[in-house]
């Protein structure tokens, strides 16, 4: 990595490598304790990223610009609600634009040590269905984020190891961390590399590798800001290496601790709120 490389953190949106190493970049993908950054223990470094956001709930509006291999782009807008803590909470995402996607919704329920449970509501069929484990590696709404990327992994779902060298990205000196799933069949990724800034609890760059050992995605984020004590990024880019496509996620608006109703985070509620 060089100093000119783009950044990727996970704030309320860009935490796992997710919408969650991506939306854990805005207000999703965040957690950080200063003492952790004084140590070189890999899990302590990642705990810094995972523990800084102590909000009970989050509401955000975002824009997703999806570009295909030929350079054609489509703009999509959505609202995302998060209830509970990262890795042990619920995420509800609902598209508002364009018209053909309006109402499409995804509910992800996460528990430590378990693969996420996910349901999708499709307006065209007016049905809610549960997603099968084999679908977690598929693109969500034709973007470069997969269904797994939108879920929020727990810190304990991965093993961590620090690696040399310490790179400089966007003027931040970083730790390089290798993350490997504790339970391999709970993730589409064989392993993930994270570059975590030493001075702020954010992931600045991430590279994800499939089960065959090939790099399948890269994530970068920029526009770092601090909201209610938690660092995150306002813009996150996910690239699909093999397909030559990319999706740029821009956070337009964030609200924390508004008292979201847990009743909205159920499969039944997906169908009633259109």
Give me the mean pLDDT over the 7-24 stretch: 43
What pLDDT score does 231 carry?
64
End-to-end CA distance of the chain: 44
pTM for this predicted structure: 0.81
- Cα distances from 250 to residues 5, 61, 67, 133, in angstroms, run 18, 9, 14, 28
Mean pLDDT, rounded, of the chain: 82
| Whole-number Å distance between alpha carbons of 136 and 168 | 33
CB distance 132 to 115 below 8 Å: no
Give me the mean pLDDT over the 33-61 stretch: 73
What pLDDT score does 23 carry?
52
- Cα distances from 180 to residues 191, 192, 193, 206, in angstroms, run 5, 7, 9, 13
| Whole-number Å distance between alpha carbons of 121 and 124 | 9
* CATH architecture of structural domain 23-272: Clam (2.50)
Please give the angle made by the CA atoms of 24, 26 and 30, to the nearest 5 degrees.
45
Q: How confident is the model at residue 201 (pLDDT cuts 50, 70, 90)?
A: confident
Phi, psi of 33 (to 5 degrees): -110, 125
Looking at residue 139, the DSSP 8-state letter turns out to be B
Residue among 29, 21, 30 at smallest CA distance from 48 = 30
| 258 alpha carbon, distance to own chain's centre | 21
Q: Across the chain, how many H-helices and E-strands are there?
A: 4, 16
CB contact set of 120 (below 8 Å; sequence gap of 6+): 104, 105, 106, 107, 128, 129, 131, 270
| Whole-number Å distance between alpha carbons of 20 and 41 | 23
What pLDDT score does 10 carry?
36
| Whole-number Å distance between alpha carbons of 35 and 142 | 40
Residue among 83, 34, 102, 35 at smallest CA distance from 258 = 83
| Whole-number Å distance between alpha carbons of 49 and 221 | 14
Q: What is the pLDDT of residues 50-81, one digit of tens each?
A: 777 778 898 999 999 999 999 999 999 999 99
Peptide bond into 98 cis (omega under 30): yes
């Amino acid at each position: 990595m060089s100093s000119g490389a783009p950044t990727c953190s996970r704030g309320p949106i860009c935490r796992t490598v997710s919408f969650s190493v991506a939306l854990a970049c805005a207000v999703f993908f965040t957690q950080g304790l200063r003492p952790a950054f004084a140590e070189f223990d890999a899990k302590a470094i990642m705990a810094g990223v995972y523990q800084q956001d102590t909000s009970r709930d989050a509401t955000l509006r975002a824009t997703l610009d999806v570009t295909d291999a030929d350079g054609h782009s489509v703009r999509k807008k959505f609202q995302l609600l998060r209830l509970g803590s990262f890795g042990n909470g619920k995420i509800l995402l609902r598209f508002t634009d364009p018209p053909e996607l309006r109402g499409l919704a995804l509910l992800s329920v996460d528990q430590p040590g378990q693969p996420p449970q996910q349901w999708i509501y499709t307006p065209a069929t007016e049905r809610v269905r549960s997603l099968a484990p084999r679908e977690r590696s598929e693109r969500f709404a034709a973007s470069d984020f997969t269904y797994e990327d939108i879920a929020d992994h727990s810190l304990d779902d991965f093993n961590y190891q620090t690696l040399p060298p310490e790179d400089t990205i966007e003027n931040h000196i970083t730790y390089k961390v290798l993350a490997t799933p504790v339970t391999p069949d709970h993730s589409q990724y064989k392993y993930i590399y994270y570059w975590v800034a030493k001075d702020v609890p954010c992931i600045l760059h991430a590279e994800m590798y499939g089960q065959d050992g090939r790099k399948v995605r890269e994530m970068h984020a920029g526009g770092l800001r601090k909201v209610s004590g938690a660092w995150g990024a306002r813009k996150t880019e996910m690239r699909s290496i093999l397909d030559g496509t990319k999706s740029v996620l821009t956070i337009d608006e964030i609200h924390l601790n508004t008292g979201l109703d847990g009743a909205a985070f159920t499969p039944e509620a997906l169908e009633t709120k259109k």
